[in-house]
Structure formats: C-alpha cells, structure tokens
Structure 1
Amino acid sequence: MALTILNTRLIDRGTTLPADCLRVANGRIVSIGGPRIAQPDDVRVDASGATLLPGLIDSHVHLAPGSTQLAATYGVTTQLDMFSMPEVMAQEMPRSAFFTSGIGATAPGGHPTIAFPPFPYVTGPEDAKRFVADRIAEGADHLKLIYDDGSGLMLDLPTLDAHTVQALTDEAHAHGLTVVAHVSTAAAAVTVVECGVDVLAHVPSDLLSPADIEALADVAVIATLGVVGDGFNGPSGQLPLLDEPELVARMSARWRQLLVDQSRRWMPPEPPDSTTARVNTLALQKAGVRVLAGTDAPNPGLVFGASLHRELVHLVTAGLSPAEALVAATNAPAEVFRLTDRGRLAVGARADLLLVDGDPLVDITATQRIRHTWTAGEPVLPEQYAGSDLELAGLRFLGETTARIMARLKEQWPV
C-alpha cells in the first residue's frame, strides 16, 4: 500500500524537519517534502495539527504471546527482548518487530530463575563459548547477562563472577553481538563495564559518584524508571497507568482488569523511592551517556506499548528534555543495537510510524494522544488484537508466570 501523510509536523532525531509531508510505498519511506510528493493513487492522510514520529522502540521487555501486536497498537513498533525462552520467541510474530537475547546468562539459581521454567545456567568462564553458540543457534540478536547478587534489594542471590562476565562478553563480541548486562548497583555497573559490556539494562538504584559516571561514559544505559514509578499504587490509590485516559482508552477490557487486579495486590506501606535512579539518569545523560527508553514489561503495572509512553514521562521528570526523551525511544536504541532500518524518519527507513495529536517536543504526553500507527506501511488496527486468541494466550502466559513466581516464593519463605 502506498500512502502520503500530509500537513504534519515531522520529528526525526528529536528535531522538527523542514517538511510537512511523507510518502510510503512497499513498506518504506520513499520521499519527504511538500504536498507534491503525493501520487494519484496514494491513500492520503490529512494530519493537520498532528506530529509524525518514527515508530517507538522499547529497549527492555520480556516477550509474551501477542506482545508485539499489543505494543504496535500504541506505536511501539520494535521491542528489544532481554530474556525469553525459545518457545516464546518462536510463537511471537512478526519477527521483524522484535530482537532478542533468548535465554540470559546467569549463575545456577541466580536472578531471574524464579520467573522461568528450567533453563541453561553458566557455571564459569569455561561455559562461555558453548552458551553463546547455543544462543546464536536459537536466533539471539544480542547477549544478555545478569550480574546481580541481590544486595540492591537486600537479598542474597548467586551471581556470575567477573571472570565469567569477561569470558561471555569476549565470546559474544567475537560473534558481533552487543552485550547487555543486568545490574542494580553502582559497583556492579562499574565492574561489568570494566569487562567490556556495551549496555546496562537498568540505571543503578544507589547514587553514582563522579568517578562511577566517568567509568560508565562509553556505554548506553536503559533507564527502566517505570518499574518502580509505575509498579506501585500512586496518589489515586491505583497503578499510575490507569490514570492515563488516552492510554487506557486504547486498552482492552482484559488488560484494564489485570491492572485493577494488580492494584489490589499487597503493597508496601511506602512505595520504593525512585529519586536516586532519576538523579543517576540525568547525571549520565549530562555526561554524554546514551540513555535508552525501556519498560521491563510485563512487570506489575506495565503493559506492552502503553508503558513506554509513561517511560518517556519519567525521563522528562528526571530532567531530560522532551527531545532527548524521544531520541531515547527512537534513533538512540536503533544506533546502539545497530538496527539500521528503523528509528528514523528518513528515506529508505521502514515505514514504522506513529501519528499523535499535538507537539511532543513541547509536551511529552502528546505521544499518548495517538491518531494512527503503521508497521511497514500497514495500518495497525487495535480491534484486531482485543479479544483475539493472541490476547488470551498472552494473559494466560502472564498468569502462569505469576503463579510460578508465587509458588517459588512460598517455597523459600513458607508461612
């Protein structure tokens, strides 16, 4: 299908382009300019008062059945999966809408064993070659490793040692893979960066010193501020995503009910404080570190696609400009993960597009006022997801995962 989007603000790499029309053919952007680029047989979309963005990229999810389809209804057209089992990867389509680590590298019994069925562990440096080869055979696009002893959450978990992190990183780099490391503390972040990893999967929860920030200068960081910011009830007494009317309006009844149910789960008397993570995020951004927008969906309170719009709000609240937040969800992750065909409004790029009312360079919440989304030039129809077999399979998968986690917790802390 060929279409031309007319009379719109075009934002690429966080700046407004000197054009107001964009034409798509054969799933690609073929021209950018004025009204004359439209061809006689094109579908024409009058986008007066709206802004056209590249399809958004969520740099941190864990796949579930139908998650790519759900995310696309919110204009999140690419997801970077940071730990999923091969059977989930095989079911999820289209393959062009996500990139995956497959199974992450962790020590026996280490994080996130509690959330998954049995999977291969890494016991030491000697396992690195086999582990990386197996992930590549499963279709991995990057390597995820976990370096977290639980101390950031006052837990005691087995974890990889630095020699094993180094061996995994070296082997992955030998095969051209980007290496992402899950960490939760400043000390762990510095250690994995010394081992050569490329991306940190979370901003540390304890305060980074100036020396720490200098040590992290050459890596990218996926902020995931919404894990805390949206995972616990807010002032309204419910999960914050439920207080976003534009996002909730696009959400199916079953997902809304899931959020309501999660709002009623046990909550600590005082929700965790994300102030330090926000301070760290801004300090890293100011130091030139590439901050990427990622949600860690489907943690409690997070919904594929919808929560990335909330993550943009968290980044701006932390002190990034709206332009910097948009970069964190478009061209920055595309460049860090070498996704050369997306994240841009540029001739030749995939026509993954998000059309929103208003100007997100002025008000970042404008990204939530969605008019249309397209993947490879084809319109996304939210009604095709709601009530579908994919939606039911995804919610069933999340229910089974939650039950597995609760059973493991009861084993560890019997009442």
Structure 2
Amino acid sequence: MAFTILHTRLADRGAALPADCLRVANGRITAIGGPEITQPGDTVVDGSGTTLLPGLIDAHIHLAPGCTQLAATYGVTTQLDQFSMPEVIDQETPRSSFFTSSIGATAPGGHPTIAFPPIPYVTGPDDAKRFVADRVAEGADHLKLIYDDGSGAGLSLPTLDSRTVQALAGEAHTHGLTVVAHVSTAAAAVTVVECGVDVLAHVPSDLMSPEDIEAVADVAVIATLSVLADGFNGPSGHLPLLDEPELMARMPALWQDLLDQQSRRWMPPVPPDGTAARANTLALHRAGVRVLAGTDAPNPGLVFGASLHRELVELVRAGLTPAEAVVAATSAPAEVFGLADRGRLTVGARADLLLVEGNPLADITATQRIRQTWAGGEPVRPEEYAGSEQELAGIRFLGETTDRILAAVNEMLPQPRPT
C-alpha cells in the first residue's frame, strides 16, 4: 500500500519539521517534503488541520491476549512488555508491535509473584547466569528485575539483594540486553543504579533528595504516573478514564464494562497522593534523565493504548511541556531500548503513524483526537478488534489473573478460627 499525507504538521523529536507532506510505501516512510513527493497511484490523505506523529510507544505494559491490536486503535503501535509468561508472549501477534523481558527476576515469593503462575526465581548471584540465559532463549529483548521489599506500600516482601542485582545486570549486559529495574522508593532507585541497571521502572513515590536525583542522573525512568492517577476513582466517583470522551468513543464495549466494574470495586477513602511522584518526575527530567511514558496496563483503571494518552496528560501535569511529553512516548523510548526503526518521522523508518486533529506539541490532549492510525503502513481498523476472539480472550485472561491474585491475597490474610 502506498499513500501520501498532505499538508499536515510533521512532529519529530518533539518539534515540527519544515516539510508538511509524508509518503509511505511497502510499510516504510519513503519521502518527506512537499506535495511533489506524491507518486502516481498513491492514495492521498488530506492532513489539513492535523499533526502526524510517529506511532506512540508505551514503555511499560504486561501482555494480555489481543493487547497489541487494542493499543494500535489508539495509535500506540509499540509496547514494551515488562514481565509476562512465555505462553502469553507466544500467542500475541504481530511480534513487531511489542518487545518483552519475558519472566522478570524476583526473589522467591517476591513481587509480583501473586499475579503469575509458578515462575523461576533468583535466589542469589550464582543464579544470574542461568536465569539470563533462559530469558534469552525465550526471546527476551531486555531484562526486567524486581528490587522492592514492599516498604513503599507498608508491606514486607522478600526481594533480591544488591549483589544479585549487580550480577543480573552484568550478565544481561554481556548479552546486549537493556536492564530495567522495578523500584518504588528513592533509596531503592539509588541502589539499583549503583548496581548497573539502565532503566528505572516507576518514579519513586517518596520525595527524592537532590543527592538522590544526582545519583540516578545517568539512567532513564519509566514514569507510570497514571497508575496512581487513573487506578482509583476520581471526583466523578469512577475511574478517570471513563471521563475522557474522545478515548471512550473508541473503547470497545467489553472494556467499558470492565472499567465500570473496576470503578465499583473497593476503594480507599482517600486516593493515593501522586504529588511526590510528579515532583520526582520533573526533578529527574531537569537533571537530564530520559523520562519515558509508560502505563503499567492492564492494572485496574488502565487500558492498553487509551491509557498512554492519559499518561501524557500526567507528564504535562508534572511539569513537562507537551512537546517533551510527546518525546517521552516516541523517540526517547525508541532510543533507550535501541529500537532504531521507529519513534521517528524519518525516511526508512517503519510507517507506524498517528494522525490527530490539532497540535499536541502545544496541547497534549490533541493526541486523543485521533483521525487515523497506521501500523507498518497498514491502516488500523478498530472494528476488527471490537467483539473479536482476541478481545474476548483478553478479558478472560484478565479475569483469570484477577481471580488468582484474590485467591493468593486471601491465603495471606489471617483466617478466622472455628468456634
């Protein structure tokens, strides 16, 4: 399929290009310039009043069946999976639309054990070589490890020690893998950076000191601000995503029903306060840390694709400019994870494209006003996902996962003694 988009704002690395037309053929961008780049036989798309972005990249999700198709309807054409089972990875297609860590490295019984079937654990530094080799054999594109003792949430969980984190990072680097570390506190972030990790998964939820910021200034961070912002009911009495009309207009009915059900689950009297996480995000950004947009979907309140647009809003709320937020979901994650063929509007890049009404470089909510998306040069058709077996399989998978988590939590809670 060959087509040319005319008279649109071309946004690359957070800036508008001087050209206003872009041509695609055979799944790749073949020319950028004026109307003269149009070739005989091209389908012509009038982009007047629009902005063309590279397909968005969500740097933190966990795979579910059909999630790549759902995400693409929102212009999120690449997802970085940060812990999934091989059997889930193997059934998700197309493989070019996601990259995975496969199973993450965690201590026996550590986070997030309760969300998964039995997994291989890491008991110490001596396990690092075999663990990483097994992930490479499963097709892992990067390594995920967990360094979280639960203290950030008032819990006590087993976790890896620093020597093991260092061994895992070193072994992963010998295989050319980027190393992502799940942390929840400032102290944990400093420790894992000292151990050699490349990317922090989650901005710490406690306020980082200037010394903490300086200690982690050489890595990237996946913000995931929407976990707190969108995972709990807002002023309207339900989950915030339900209050986004442009996003909900593209939301399949089953996912709307799921959000409604999640809105009616137990909620704390006062929602978590994301003030410290937002302040940390801005401080890290100002210190030169590459901030990446990620959602941690499908946590409650988060939907593949749709929630990345909400994450961009949260990044701007934290203090990034709209243009900087766009970079966090396009060129920045592509560069950090070595995805050289995407995240940019350049000749030769994959034609993963998002065409939106308005100018998201000035108004970040414009990313939600989607006119058309393409994945690998092919138009994305939302109607092909809604009601499909892929959608049904994804909803079933989430239900099974939720049931497994609830059962594990019930086992952990004190049981009443018989009378």
Q: Normalising by structure 2, what TM-score?
A: 0.99
Amino acid in the other structure paired with 2:248: V
Q: Deviation of residue 362 (structure 1)?
A: 1.3
Give the secondary-structure state (helix, strand or coil) at the position aligned to 1:5. strand
User: Match for residue 269 of structure 2?
Assistant: 269
Residues 245-288 of structure 1, C-alpha deviations (whole Å, 9 max, x = no match): 00000001110000000000000000000000000000000000
Question: In structure 2, how many angstroms separate the alpha carbons of the residues matched to 1:192 and 1:64?
Answer: 28
Residues 314-368 of structure 1, C-alpha deviations (whole Å, 9 max, x = no match): 0000000001000000000000000000000000000000000000011100000
Q: Deviation of residue 302 (structure 1)?
A: 0.1
Question: In structure 1, how many angstroms separate the alpha carbons of the residues matched to 2:371 and 2:253?
Answer: 20
Give the secondary-structure state (helix, strand or coil) at the position aligned to 1:143. strand
Q: How does 1:13-412 map to 2 (within 5 A)?
A: 13-412=13-412
Give the secondary-structure state (helix, strand or coil) at the position aligned to 2:134. helix
Count of paired positions: 415
Give the secondary-structure state (helix, strand or coil) at the position aligned to 1:371. strand
Question: In structure 2, how many angstroms separate the alpha carbons of the residues matched to 1:225 and 1:258?
Answer: 21
Amino acid in the other structure paired with 1:240: P
Amino acid in the other structure paired with 1:124: G
Q: CA RMSD in A?
A: 0.5
Question: In structure 2, how many angstroms separate the alpha carbons of the residues matched to 1:347 and 1:71?
Answer: 24
Question: In structure 2, how many angstroms separate the alpha carbons of the residues matched to 1:60 and 1:414?
Answer: 33
Question: In structure 2, how many angstroms separate the alpha carbons of the residues matched to 1:6 and 1:377?
Answer: 16
Question: In structure 1, how many angstroms separate the alpha carbons of the residues matched to 2:219 and 2:20?
Answer: 35
Question: In structure 2, how many angstroms separate the alpha carbons of the residues matched to 1:24 and 1:112?
Answer: 42
Give the secondary-structure state (helix, strand or coil) at the position aligned to 2:22. strand
Question: In structure 1, how many angstroms separate the alpha carbons of the residues matched to 2:4 and 2:235?
Answer: 43
Residues 300-325 of structure 1, C-alpha deviations (whole Å, 9 max, x = no match): 00000000000000000000000100
Question: In structure 2, how many angstroms separate the alpha carbons of the residues matched to 1:166 and 1:287?
Answer: 24
Q: Deviation of residue 229 (structure 1)?
A: 0.2
Residues 224-246 of structure 1, C-alpha deviations (whole Å, 9 max, x = no match): 00000000000111100000000
Question: In structure 1, how many angstroms separate the alpha carbons of the residues matched to 2:206 and 2:250?
Answer: 36
Give the secondary-structure state (helix, strand or coil) at the position aligned to 2:410. helix
Amino acid in the other structure paired with 1:97: S
- Unaligned regions of 5+ residues in structure 2, if any? none
Give the secondary-structure state (helix, strand or coil) at the position aligned to 1:44. strand
Give the secondary-structure state (helix, strand or coil) at the position aligned to 1:111. coil
Question: In structure 2, how many angstroms separate the alpha carbons of the residues matched to 1:141 and 1:233?
Answer: 35
Q: Deviation of residue 47 (structure 1)?
A: 1.0
Question: In structure 1, how many angstroms separate the alpha carbons of the residues matched to 2:192 and 2:80?
Answer: 20
Q: Deviation of residue 414 (structure 1)?
A: 4.2
Give the secondary-structure state (helix, strand or coil) at the position aligned to 1:167. helix
Question: In structure 1, how many angstroms separate the alpha carbons of the residues matched to 2:255 and 2:206?
Answer: 33
Question: In structure 1, how many angstroms separate the alpha carbons of the residues matched to 2:219 and 2:76?
Answer: 24
Question: In structure 2, how many angstroms separate the alpha carbons of the residues matched to 1:154 and 1:414?
Answer: 17
Question: In structure 2, how many angstroms separate the alpha carbons of the residues matched to 1:351 and 1:307?
Answer: 22
Question: In structure 2, how many angstroms separate the alpha carbons of the residues matched to 1:268 and 1:215?
Answer: 34
Q: Deviation of residue 394 (structure 1)?
A: 0.3
Question: In structure 2, how many angstroms separate the alpha carbons of the residues matched to 1:368 and 1:48?
Answer: 17
Give the secondary-structure state (helix, strand or coil) at the position aligned to 2:232. coil
**4+ residue runs over 6 A deviation:** none
Question: In structure 2, how many angstroms separate the alpha carbons of the residues matched to 1:378 and 1:37?
Answer: 19
Amino acid in the other structure paired with 1:349: A
Amino acid in the other structure paired with 2:331: N
Give the secondary-structure state (helix, strand or coil) at the position aligned to 2:135. helix
Q: Deviation of residue 70 (structure 1)?
A: 0.4
Question: In structure 1, how many angstroms separate the alpha carbons of the residues matched to 2:94 and 2:398?
Answer: 20
